[in-house]
Amino acid sequence: MGKKVLIADDEPNIVVSLEFLMKQRGYVVKVAGNGEDALSAVGDFGPDLILLDVMMPRMSGYDLCQKVRENPAWAGIKIIMLSAKGRDIEVTKGMAVGADAYVTKPFSTRDLIAKVQEMLGE
Amino acid sequence: MLQSWVIIPVSLAYIGVLFAIARYGDSRADQGRSIIANPYIYALSLGVYATTWTFYGSVGRAAGDGVGFLPIYLGPTLMMALWWQVMRKIIRISKTNRITSLADFISSRYGKSALIAGLVTVIAVIGVVPYIALQLKAVSQSFTILVRYPELAMSGLREPSPVVSDTAFWTALLLATFTILFGTRHLDASERHEGLVAAIAFESLVKLVAFLAVGLFVTYGIYDGLADIFSRAAAHARLANLFAPLGGAAGSYASWAWLTALSMLAIMFLPRQFQIAVVENVDENHLGKAIWLFPLYMLAMNVFVVPIAFGGVMHFPGLAVDPDAFVLTLPMGEKQEALALLVFIGGLSAATGMVIVETIALSTMVCNDLVMPVLLRMKWTRIAERENLTGLLLGIRRGAIVAVVMLGYLYFRLAGEAYALVAIGLISFAAVAQFAPATFGGIYWKGATRAGALAGLSAGFAVWLYTLLLPSFAKSGWLPIGFLEQGPFGIAILKPYALFGLEGLNDITHAMLWSGIANVGAYVVVSVLTRQDAAEQAQAARFVDVFRRAGEELDVHLWKGTASLPDLMALLGRFLGPERAQAAVADYARRRGFASPAAMPADAGLVQFAETALAGAIGGASARIMVASTVKEDVLSIDEVRSMLDEASQVIAYSHELRQKSQALMTATTELRAANERLQELDRLKDDFISTVTHELRTPLTSIRAFSEILRDNPGLDAAEREKFLGIIIQESERLTRLINQVLDLAKLESGRAEWQMQEIDPRMVIEDSIDATGQLFRARNVGLEARLPASVPPIHGDRDRLVQVLINLLSNAAKFVQPDSGRVIVALSAGPDTLRVAVTDNGPGVRAEDREIIFEKFRQAGDTMTEKPQGTGLGLPISRQIVEHFGGRLWVESAPGEGATFAFDLPRAKAPAVGPAPGG
Amino acid sequence: MFRSVIKGQRLLAVFLLGVLLFNYPLLALFNRAAEAFGIPAVYAYVFGAWTLVIGLLALVIERSR
């Protein structure tokens, strides 16, 4: 069974593209459109990796990331932050709250896939 | 009705009125409700300048030379313009130092020199007592003329009557009594004589009314107006020459100018003027109005001088009528007895006013600056040791008053018709003009020394004696006339009217020139050559820097020595009386913040206070002597004083500069901080905006790039999926375009660079066009749209395309937020009195209260209430609001969550077209 | 204080104007056998100039109150 990837983003078209890319590589994909849905999906779905948008309704990507990192049971989950906010301060903040990588939108699909594979040890 | 039994009671009644006014003024002053504390009374009391010399004499002068009287009044008019600066300073100095006379003023400036005080007093007495005599003479003469009614000729007028039946004598006595009663109520002369001033102001009014009355009578009663007098005068052999009187023999322009200058000085330095203008001044702000009111008074006093003079000359051809008496004899000749009596009273008021004030001023000087210093210095009198000196002081003051008035009377009896009395007016002016250099120099030139002032005053006075007073004696026959014509002992170069061979000037001009040179020359040269001692330097600083207000602090440090409070208290008590001394010291202690005088250190400040308080009673010079004898003073070396002064004035200058600088700095800092905050705020906003815009741009770009790469990397995608991904790319590209357009649009709107096509438009058309444009969206989502438009609405003024933009935005928002199929949107138009309202109502989820303003901010969508991220750019509402506000309207939302929302805006109605025909039509 | 200084300067200007008006040579221009309103020129001039100066003094004093 393939590794599980949770896609948390509120932009429907971006979600479509990410879903396509992940499924194409054989990952099991679940989608959440806001931060709260994403948090519950972390528990239910048990992803190996989260593609996490920062600017989401109800709970921001930062907050979600922090919550995931607070729970030792979820320590193995890799988190790649995706954001249209590319200022240094935002990247630093993302890494500070426990993200494993920070990818600025728009991104290269090849680079993103490479990064996902690297994180999942493939 | 012009018998002496009428005239005398009327005159006495007039003087009785003066008493009443003075009493009333004093009693009001005692109650603290001054009747003279206003600029009008102040200006009127300055009218004491107009004496009988004006009242009777101006007409006499005008009959002789036409214009010669005018500079006497033009000079003071000009001087008043300078009073704002000069006189204000003198008043301030006098109030600060409790100065009570001109002699006190000048001597105080030069180290409280008793010698200068005495010299000034002597000059003033010699110069002015004859002037008092002139007033008495005028009263006596006018009385004689009046009682001879109906006879007008002057024959036999000159013979003196015995003293007991001499009106002048009784007038003098009466005036001395008046002056004693109202001029020496208090000892402290710096407490003003309010009642007396009120009486003087009243006198100014009386003489003006009397003179105007006779002027009007002569001009319009005897003659037929001004033009009539002058046209007749033009035909008169002698008067015709007076139509262009200047430049010829009668008066050169030079002597006219000198006379003007002399009068400028007289208005300041005649003792009575100093008394009224400075000592009796209640409030230095009264100067302001007086600066134009007093010249106006003089103008009114002079308007009829020439008409009366010309009228008189023509009216009494061949009769021996003295032109000086025209104001009196013209009404008499016309049998206007009441008017003649009024004129007599007017002349009486001019005389009495002058005598009273001049006597007060002179007696203060004689007592404080001549008698007291001498008495205090004469050890054998043991005066300084007496327990209570108030009685003695009052006695001297009263004695001086009687002496001055009686001296005047004596001079009048002795001189009679002599030239020395007739010409005394200008000679007096020239005497007091000698005070000018020492005074002006004293308040503006710190370097002027006591020796310089003494030298200047002496030299000027000596020259005046020699070139004016002695010649007037010679002309009166009291000195051999050869003194004038050949010079003393036949030395022609010393002829008093042509000193050193300077010929061709009239006597006043000549004397002014020489005495001026001697006075100013000696003053400046000796001042430069001598050094000031400690006391002088202190006083110089007090005078010159009076407006710097630091004067008090300066003085306090300029004294070294030991004093005791009881000693000083006793000293004050002896001159002021124990109670007043107690009260004064207690008051001073309070001002310095001590609970009782006993708690106060007997320091330099207290000594200074005691000396100033004493100066009010006995003059600065005497006060200095008394204080010096009471306290043990260490002699300060000149270097000590200089360094103290330098230090103090440097500290003052520095702290002043520092204060100014730090104030400027503080202002600048505050402004800078505010500007910085504004900038930072702007910067922050701009930064946020750019960051947000970047974010919004990147989001569609992300989709576009991702799908483009997917399509590139997956050439084998099936057609449906290709179609779908390409559709997303196009859709996101459109979103990107829209966003860019709106950002640019908003930037244009905010910067004011947007172009507006303003025109009258029908709002219904706007709504219908917008409905057409959004029809597709509504149909696609199956949302109902209803328009409620009135049959006719007034036009509005605006940009059609922009309004359509607003409406499309509101309508498409509504279409997006309502539920598909069940959604309903109503657009309604209604007209108010001034505005038109457009409202777009939907049945969507509504807007929460906390979001109702946020949604009008850039990129702020009320996202949290929505399950799905809206597709808008977050700029539609901010842009719409900008547009509506540009048209002078407003855009807002009304909503309850769950019950839909109404977005509405008001627009002002176009102004009604102008009624009536168009211009040019 | 500042206003007082300004006032002082304006008054000084009036003073200088007065000195000019009341002296040679302006005075000499009117010292002739001419008349204005039936009044000999020099008298009409002096009283006119005098009135003007007083008016200016009043203007300066009263305006800034």
- The per-residue pLDDT for range B693-736, each reduced to its tens digit, is 788 888 888 999 999 999 898 888 888 888 999 999 998 888 88
Query: Count of CB contacts below 8 A, B vs C?
Result: 103
How many residues are recorded in chain B?
A: 921
Mean pLDDT along residues B903-918: 63
List, for residues B95-113, the tens digit of each pLDDT value: 888 888 899 899 989 988 8
Domain encompassing residue A103: 4-119
Q: Which of B594, B606, B139 is nearest to B408 (CA)?
A: B139
CATH at residue A39: 3.40.50.2300
Q: Does A contact C via 3+ CB–CB distances below 8 Å?
A: no
Q: What is the pLDDT of residue B346?
A: 93
Q: Please report, rounded to a whole number, the percentage of residues in chain A having pLDDT higher than 70.
A: 99
**C43 contact residues in B (CB cutoff 8 A):** 67, 306
Contacts of C63 in chain B (CB under 8 A): none
Question: Which of A33, A57, A84 comes nearest B698 by C-beta?
Answer: A84
Determine, for residues B698 and A11 on separate chains, whether the beta-carbon distance falls below 8 Å: no
pLDDT of residue B750: 79
Give yes or no for B706 touching A (CB within 8 A): yes
A80 confidence band (pLDDT: 50, 70, 90): very high
CB within 8 Å of B218: residues ≥ 6 apart: B304, B307, B308, B311, B312, B330
Q: pLDDT tens-digit profile of B261-318?
A: 999 999 999 999 999 999 888 888 888 889 999 999 999 999 999 999 989 888 887 6
> Reduced to 3 states, what is the DSSP secondary structure of residue B268?
helix
Q: What is the pLDDT of residue B317?
A: 79
Tally Cβ neighbours within 10 Å of residue B237. Answer: 6
- Average model confidence (pLDDT) across chain B: 82
Chain C partners of B244 at a C-beta cutoff of 8 Å? 31-33, 40-42
Interface probe for A, chosen from B691, B694, B699, B730 (most Cβ of A below 10 Å), is B699
Token duo for residue B255: 């002597």
Nearest to B869 by CA among A11, A74, C11, A31: A11
Contact, B631 vs B607, CB < 8 A? yes
* pLDDT top residue among B557 and B380: B380
Looking at residues A8-33, what average pLDDT do you find?
A: 91
A74 Cα to chain B: minimum distance (Å)? 28
B78: chain C residues, CB-CB within 8 Å: 15, 18-19, 22, 53
**CB–CB of B532/B450 below 8 Å?**
yes
Backbone CA torsion sign across B874, B880, B886, B889: negative
Task: Phi first, then psi: give them for residue B892, nearest 5 degrees.
Answer: -150, 175
A to B contact (≥3 Cβ pairs closer than 8 Å): yes
Whether C54 and B299 lie within 8 Å, measured CB to CB: yes
B168-181 pLDDT, tens digit each = 888 888 888 888 88
Q: Is B488 left (phi over 0), alpha (psi -120 to 50) or beta?
A: beta
Chains touching chain A through at least 3 C-beta pairs below 8 angstroms are B
Q: Which of B87-91, B626-630, B819-823, B833-837 has the highest mean pLDDT?
A: B87-91
Query: What would the pLDDT profile of B590-606 be if each residue is shown by its tens digit?
Result: 887 777 777 777 777 78
- Report the C-alpha gap between B133 and B414 in whole angstroms: 10
- Least Cα separation, residue B699 to chain A (angstroms): 6
Residue B41 token pair = 């009374």
CB B467 within 8 A of CB B510: yes
Q: Which of A14, A55, A110 is nearest residue B703 as measured by Cβ atoms?
A: A14
Q: How far is C54 from chain B (nearest CA, A)?
A: 6
More confident residue, B250 or C14: C14
- Of C18, C40, C43, which has the smallest distance from its Cβ to B78's Cβ? C18
Nearest CB to A21; choose among B694, B699, B710: B710
Answer whether B329's CB lies under 8 Å from B111's CB.
Answer: no
Q: How far apart are CA B55 and CA B13, in angstroms?
A: 21
Distance between B864 CA and the closest CA of chain A, angstroms? 6
Residue B917, pLDDT above cutoff 70: no
* CA trace torsion B776, B777, B779, B785 (10° rounding): -110
Residue B78 tokens read as 């000009």
Residue in A21, A58, A86 closest to B864 by CB: A58
Tell which of B684, B689, B690, B703 to mutate to test the A interface (max A CBs under 10 Å).
Answer: B703
pLDDT of residue B251: 58
Please determine, for residue A8, whether its predicted confidence score (pLDDT) is greater than 80.
Answer: yes
Inspect the interface and report whether the beta carbons of B694 and A105 lie closer than 8 Å: no
Indicate the length of chain A as a whole number. Answer: 122
Contact B303 C8 (CB under 8 A): no
- Domain count along chain A: 1
Output the pLDDT for position B161. 66
**What single DSSP character describes residue B909?**
B
Using a CB cutoff of 8 Å and minimum separation of 24, what contacts does B745-753 make? B745/B875, B745/B879, B746/B858, B746/B875, B746/B878, B746/B879, B746/B882, B749/B879, B749/B882, B749/B883, B749/B886, B750/B882
ipTM of the complex: 0.95
